Amino acid sequence: MLFNYLKIGCRNLLKNKGFSAINITGLAIGMASAILIFLWIYDEVTYEQFHEKKDRIYEAWNLASFSGELHAWNTTPKVLAAAIQKDLPEVETTTRAAWPQRIQFAVGEKKINASGQTVDSTFLQVFSFPLLKGDPVTALMDPLGVVVTEDLGRSLFGSTDVLGKTVRIDNRKEKKITGVAATPPANSRFQFEYLLPWADLRTDGDDDAYWGNNSVRNYVLLKANASPASANAKMKVLKPRYDKEDPNWQMFLYPMSRWRLYSSFESGKETGGIIVYVRIFATIAILILLIACINFMNLSTARSEKRAKEVGIRKVAGALRGHLVGQFLGESVMIAFIAGLLAVLIVVLSLPGFNRLAEKTMRLPFGEPAFWLLLLGTIVLTGVVAGSYPAFYLSSFRPVSVLKGTFRKINALITPRKLLVITQFSVAIMLILSTIVIRKQLQYAQERQTGYDKAGLTYMFMTGDMDKNYLLIRQELLQSGAAASVTKTSSPLTQNWSDTWGIFWDGKSPDDKTDFDRFSADENLAVTAGLTMVMGRDFDLSKYPTDSTAMLLNESALKTMGFKDPLGRIVKDGDMEFHIVGVFKDFILGSPYYPTKPMVVEGAKRWFNVIHVKLNNKNSVAASLKKMEAICKKYNPQFPFEYHFTDEEYDKKFANEQRIATLSAYFAALTIFISCLGLFGLAAYMTATRVKEIGVRKVLGASVSSITSLLTKDFLKLIGISFLIGAPIAWYCMHHWLQSYPYRTAIEWWLFALTGLLTAAIAIATVGYNAIKAALANPVKSLRSE
């Protein structure tokens, strides 16, 4: 019997090629989209899942109140690890990790810049990064040692047999390779090419025991049967025991299972994080698949008159309803199977592009039986869902009606088929409207005035001898005509590396814990960055040598401090005193979606990491960069010339929203495409069933336009209803989404009008083809065929 079903299923597929193509294409695209999205979700939910001790690993977080608002964050003091080890008996061990850094590795003449971290010697015992060579217990104990990945080892030495070999780091110290690690899995927060031992940091004088310096990540491995609640109770009161400055400052241990997906905090409470996108995309995947299934349902039931005779004959021949349900479900599973294979092909072809878009390295795990089982399960489920309604609908036909020709299609006000079209287009309208709102929000933020001039503004991180030779480099950059202006700063203008609530001025309230962005520059900051001075002047060390302890404020800082006449006023940062020489208009240092914070720019006495260069617009960019390269190589020969354009770096602030906008645009396009595919097929069948009516109307004098409108208006009504359902849902979702951006666009009425018109235009174009074709047909021919 099964063979008979398969046989007739295959023949039906081949006989109705158009129908089959629409169904298979729709299902394949739906399944391919779902597979891609589920690959992304799988990648997200398996973050850090490879660590053997993952259930016992925690990260220490701060929980403290500033200006009445509770904040939670995960950079903590270096000294914390020892205190945890001492005071929490639940803890087996701790490990720390400093900020990732890019440093130079050299072997002979070969120089490679690699990213990595300085970590405690216990790092490889807490986290599961297996060493291919070396002992994980001792590899990070040797102050002169370094662990490298096999890829870095191969790049440096041409082989992975590098244990015990020596490398030169940052052209200033020799290190012996004490371990060769496998490259970390992509779905981990730790993406390192090297690991330096904590002792190295100590040797460089960068270790400290200051409780106020939140500068590293502290990780905790609990004992096997330890209670996290008990450990957390002790964490809560840990800091005040050692640091009397702030008795209300709490800390807590945050489990590894929540790091990736849930670590977004507002007012000290978890508010979601990537899990929100996981849920959104999972919903989208299911909706796209459902829309493809709806196509199948619609087209199958639209063709019901063609299949009715077969149902009647089979029933007369002794088939029970169950036999027929089985047969039709079998057919839909078969179609889903073909679509599934096509979907895998589509995924294979589109995965590189999707990986680029999602900035991941996902792959289809062909070698894993679980993948095939899941794929097969998805195919069968899709087939059953898609085939369920047609199967029960078609098998319900009474043989007497269909065989005697008294079977008639339903033309009620509300039919399941109409409901299905409405469902499809409601989803499509939701996605279109959401995409437009996301794009508008992105554009709104991108068009926000940055407060500085990005054009021709480049920056370089100071490596090797650049700091020592800075004055020479600056002088040559200006003399050569490559630069119009040069300044040395603590961080790039696009990044906030330091903030503090330890700024003091006369009249500051003792309760005021305003957090200031802290930046530093030597001189010519305003002219190089194109800042607008509203009061006073820029730093100028040649004219005013005391500017090394001068300070610039932004307007928000001035407002916070409340000075009426700020110039010359003294402001303290910790132990250092600065005098205010100027006030500039706010510029965006952090997120373009948030209001600018109060900001202080401290003078040349502070530390510097970056050189900003405003390129001379009289020369071409390429010529200026060439000159810059020559000058940097002259004064910093051991390091490669690396530069960044500020405008490109600024654009990276929108990467997340850009990615969401692009993904939602793709999904909206796919949804509308699949829906239109179904609508096209449906319109074709609907038109075919009205051939006689069209013929009669034409004979009676109906024009082409009146027939076209007759055939199109029913579908447009459905689109109208879909709009009334989809638009409010989209508004609700997008309104909610926009609330996470303090600097946000408005959802205006014209967005709805645009979405409605766009959807109607697409629907008319889809249905119109069949309608016009039917309207232009010769009525004599259509009446004769009846």
Q: Single out the segment in contact with other proteins by CB under 8 A; choices: 234-242, 398-406, 529-537, 601-609.
A: 398-406
Q: Single out the segment in contact with other proteins by CB under 8 A; choices: 3-11, 33-41, 384-392, 537-545.
A: 3-11
The answer to whether residue 413 forms part of the interface with other proteins (CB under 8 A) is no
How many CA atoms lie less than 13 Å away from 699 in the CB half-sphere?
A: 12
The answer to whether residue 4 forms part of the interface with other proteins (CB under 8 A) is yes
Residue number, 323 or 409, with CB nearest to other proteins: 323
CB of 42 to other proteins, least distance (A): 41
What's at 456, amino acid-wise? G
Cβ atoms 133, 157 nearer than 8 A: no
Residue number, 367 or 405, with CB nearest to other proteins: 405
Neighbours of 350 (CB within 10 A): 16
Residue number, 313 or 757, with CB nearest to other proteins: 313
The answer to whether residue 7 forms part of the interface with other proteins (CB under 8 A) is yes
Residue number, 15 or 279, with CB nearest to other proteins: 15
Q: Single out the segment in contact with other proteins by CB under 8 A; choices: 2-10, 132-140, 234-242, 736-744.
A: 2-10
The answer to whether residue 627 forms part of the interface with other proteins (CB under 8 A) is no
Residue number, 313 or 455, with CB nearest to other proteins: 313
- Looking at residues 288 to 347 of the shown chain, list those that interact with other proteins (rule: CB under 8 A): 309-310, 312-321, 323
Q: In which element (H, E) is residue 756 found?
A: helix 749-776
The answer to whether residue 267 forms part of the interface with other proteins (CB under 8 A) is no
CB of 317 to other proteins, least distance (A): 4
Residue number, 237 or 320, with CB nearest to other proteins: 320
Closest CA to 597 of 657, 540, 514: 514
The answer to whether residue 410 forms part of the interface with other proteins (CB under 8 A) is no
Cβ atoms 328, 395 nearer than 8 A: yes
Q: Pick the binder of other proteins from 136, 197, 330, 399 (CB under 8 A).
A: 399
CB of 15 to other proteins, least distance (A): 6
Residue number, 317 or 622, with CB nearest to other proteins: 317
* 781 burial level (CB within 10 Å; 0-12, 13-18, 19+): exposed
> CA dist 781 to 683, 703, 711, 745, Å?
20, 17, 19, 57
CB of 22 to other proteins, least distance (A): 19
DSSP structural state of residue 258: G
Rounded to 5 degrees, what angle do the CA atoms 19, 25, 29 make?
A: 150
User: Residue 321: CB partners within 8 Å, gap ≥ 6?
Assistant: 395, 396
Residue number, 314 or 773, with CB nearest to other proteins: 314
CB of 374 to other proteins, least distance (A): 33
User: Residue 119: CB partners within 8 Å, gap ≥ 6?
Assistant: 95, 96, 97, 98, 140, 195, 196, 197, 198
Residue number, 229 or 412, with CB nearest to other proteins: 412
CB of 13 to other proteins, least distance (A): 10
Structure tokens at 679: 């609508």
Q: Pick the binder of other proteins from 12, 178, 441, 490 (CB under 8 A).
A: 12
CB of 403 to other proteins, least distance (A): 6
> CA dist 771 to 411, 703, 757, 764, Å?
18, 12, 20, 9
Q: Single out the segment in contact with other proteins by CB under 8 A; choices: 206-214, 339-347, 356-364, 392-400.
A: 392-400
The answer to whether residue 15 forms part of the interface with other proteins (CB under 8 A) is yes
List alpha helices for 395-463, DSSP H. 399-403, 416-446
The answer to whether residue 70 forms part of the interface with other proteins (CB under 8 A) is no
* 195 burial level (CB within 10 Å; 0-12, 13-18, 19+): buried
The answer to whether residue 403 forms part of the interface with other proteins (CB under 8 A) is yes
The answer to whether residue 400 forms part of the interface with other proteins (CB under 8 A) is yes
Residue with tokens 């007497």: 400
Q: Pick the binder of other proteins from 1, 21, 132, 376 (CB under 8 A).
A: 1
Q: Are strands 57-66 and 69-73 parallel, antiparallel or unpaired?
A: antiparallel
The answer to whether residue 770 forms part of the interface with other proteins (CB under 8 A) is no
Closest CA to 438 of 93, 692, 751: 751
> CA dist 88 to 81, 126, 222, Å?
10, 17, 9
- Looking at residues 128 to 167 of the shown chain, list those that interact with other proteins (rule: CB under 8 A): none
Query: Which residues make up the interface to other proteins (CB under 8 A)?
Result: 1, 4, 7-8, 11-12, 15, 309-310, 312-321, 323, 398-400, 403-404
